Chains A and B, each alone.
Chain A
């Protein structure tokens, strides 16, 4: 049931310019689940996002992940991965001024109400200023996800309004994004530690290292 809906949606997404979609079987403890995995170019991403939102009724943006791949091939030095859900949630109807809760059974729904998991990954070629179009206006849930991705990974979102630091302090230096791979968690191994005259354990200075 979910597999058929996923296949149908995947073939429809594949016809959109610049995107390839396939159905991936993923495991979930004891039972399998079928998800849609889409690859897209940064240029065609905005068009795809609008189609997903309007035609395919993907209503829930779950998460945005930015990845820095410094050792990767030159066409994929950065990657942005979006995870969406199609929840099919509608406002409950009102009868005689009383709201009627919507009780759906996910195994019996059809068409565009079938819950789906969609993953969209966008590869960005080698650049010092990685950026993709923002989808803040389509899914408001993407707003803080985009802020976080810029804050931690340094991938910018064109057209994002009100970009600012959210998890790091506001006075963090410009251009410092800790999840980029040239920032190390620890610059010295434990074997480089030494005891000073008072017997306190010290580590060599980090002077000159990129923090």
Chain B
């Protein structure tokens, strides 16, 4: 049969955002793919050059609408490296709680979208129900529901509110029980298993060479995690291990990538509970905003010729900021801010993974990599 090109997107349920996947098909089989990105490129890197270090946090929140906190924290660590700020330990614990709760919310959003991708519509409603609990907790911390603007250079905006620890514990314990409901919903659905098992194989070494990291890599049977291999924040003081999936010998398929995210939500919840217990000063005490236990003093200008960067474990892989300091001429602005988006690198790889499978497998494969176009296009 003659081969032909089909454009999936920019308006297609598979895309999870605005982008086009051009596929070359031979009958029902995918022969070649070309991803085409940039539909919502907003020029964040250029905008950052004319904003000062504090203002940039707000733009970083808006990089990803499903995982805002991880992106602003990723920027903050790079800025602190550039400005040479040492963060109070209590603030680090609060940040860890904010990031891990966000990771759960982001994975729930992914799971809610992946259900309909694979013909399991009720999952979406169930996942949004639990996501609401995480959003309520994050709203207590940051004050808003989507773009929290929570971290500050040198610490956090405010302390845990009164009663937060108790509410977080009861909600997370309930959540840990409800994870079993999702597992039952997915693992006992024949349709889901048929559509995800044996589809979209990806091998560990190949993924590393292609720059794919995070849950997608851990699904292939290696426990590489930036939080684990290059410990930042207070992750090395907590008792945990990154989740690993026992995949098949051909590599990780879509089902393994689903499993590893379920395990990751469980571990994020346990990390949050541990952090609430181990927090210096206790999780029930409250400090006014700006207290030295929450916020260290930070310089507002970076000397010329300095640079800072930090690798960070985002919900979708390794995110990273590189900031070049501007010197006197640039005032309080950085000279150049560069953003490493995990999905920008993963989408070309995911598109290669589809070659050889059927057109009907594309939503299952693409969805399992958890694309977020907000951060991809920046």
Cβ-based interface call for A60 (8 A)? yes
Separation of A94 and B250 alpha carbons in the complex (Å):
10
Cβ-based interface call for A9 (8 A)? no
> B211–A141 contact, CB under 8 A?
yes
B292-350 contacts to A (CB < 8 Å): 307-311, 318, 320, 322, 324, 329, 335-336, 338, 340, 344-345, 348-349
| Residues of chain B at interface, number, CB under 8 A | 69
> B213–A60 contact, CB under 8 A?
yes
Residues of B within 8 A of A89 (CB): 204-205, 208, 217, 222, 224
> B208–A99 contact, CB under 8 A?
no
Residues of B within 8 A of A178 (CB): 43, 46
- Mark interface residues in A76-95 (1 if CB within 8 Å of B CB, else 0): 00000101010111111010
A195 to chain B: closest CB distance in Å? 25
Residue in A59, A71, A92, A100 whose Cβ sees the most chain B Cβ within 10 Å: A92
> B223–A26 contact, CB under 8 A?
no
- Mark interface residues in B102-136 (1 if CB within 8 Å of A CB, else 0): 00000000000000000000000000000000000
> B38–A31 contact, CB under 8 A?
no
Separation of A77 and B318 alpha carbons in the complex (Å):
30
Cβ-based interface call for B77 (8 A)? yes
Separation of A59 and B213 alpha carbons in the complex (Å):
12
Cβ-based interface call for A139 (8 A)? yes
- Mark interface residues in B207-228 (1 if CB within 8 Å of A CB, else 0): 0111111000100111110001
Cβ-based interface call for A207 (8 A)? no
Cβ-based interface call for A48 (8 A)? no
Partner-contacting stretch, out of A14-22, A62-70, A197-205: A62-70
Residues of A within 8 A of B241 (CB): 103
Cβ-based interface call for A55 (8 A)? no
> A29–B229 contact, CB under 8 A?
no
- Given A99-B246, A167-B37, A167-B377, are A63 and B84 also a contact pair (CB < 8 Å)? no
* Residue of B47, B245, B329 touching A101 (CB-CB under 8 A): B245
Partner-contacting stretch, out of B23-31, B86-94, B166-174, B188-196: B86-94
Partner-contacting stretch, out of B9-17, B56-64, B231-239: B231-239
B251 to chain A: closest CB distance in Å? 8
Residues of B within 8 A of A99 (CB): 221, 246-249
Residues of A within 8 A of B230 (CB): 33, 85, 106, 115, 117
Cβ-based interface call for B370 (8 A)? no
Separation of A99 and B256 alpha carbons in the complex (Å):
13
Residues of B within 8 A of A63 (CB): 320, 322, 338, 340
Cβ-based interface call for B364 (8 A)? no
Number of A-B residue pairs at CB separation under 8 A: 168
> B309–A30 contact, CB under 8 A?
no
- Given A92-B204, A97-B249, A102-B221, are A166 and B232 also a contact pair (CB < 8 Å)? no
* Residue of A29, A100, A145, A148 touching B232 (CB-CB under 8 A): A29
- Mark interface residues in B136-162 (1 if CB within 8 Å of A CB, else 0): 000000000000000000000000000
Residues of B within 8 A of A143 (CB): 348
* Residue of B87, B208, B233, B338 touching A87 (CB-CB under 8 A): B208
Cβ-based interface call for A49 (8 A)? no
Cβ-based interface call for B32 (8 A)? no
Residues of B within 8 A of A126 (CB): none
Residue in B95, B229, B378 whose Cβ sees the most chain A Cβ within 10 Å: B229
Cβ-based interface call for A169 (8 A)? yes
> A92–B221 contact, CB under 8 A?
yes
* Residue of A62, A87, A91, A166 touching B38 (CB-CB under 8 A): A166
> B204–A91 contact, CB under 8 A?
yes
Cβ-based interface call for A193 (8 A)? no
> B320–A83 contact, CB under 8 A?
yes
Cβ-based interface call for A157 (8 A)? no
Separation of A102 and B217 alpha carbons in the complex (Å):
12
A sample of 6 more A-B contacts (CB under 8 A), given A98-B249, A166-B37, is A62-B211, A88-B224, A104-B222, A145-B211, A183-B46, A185-B46
The 5 residue pairs across chains A and B that have the minimum distance between CB atoms:
A141-B211, A92-B221, A63-B340, A65-B338, A115-B229
Please report A residues at the B interface, Cβ cutoff 8 Å: 26-31, 33, 59-63, 65, 67, 71, 81, 83, 85, 87-92, 94, 97-104, 106, 115, 117, 119, 139-145, 148, 152, 165-169, 178-179, 183, 185-186
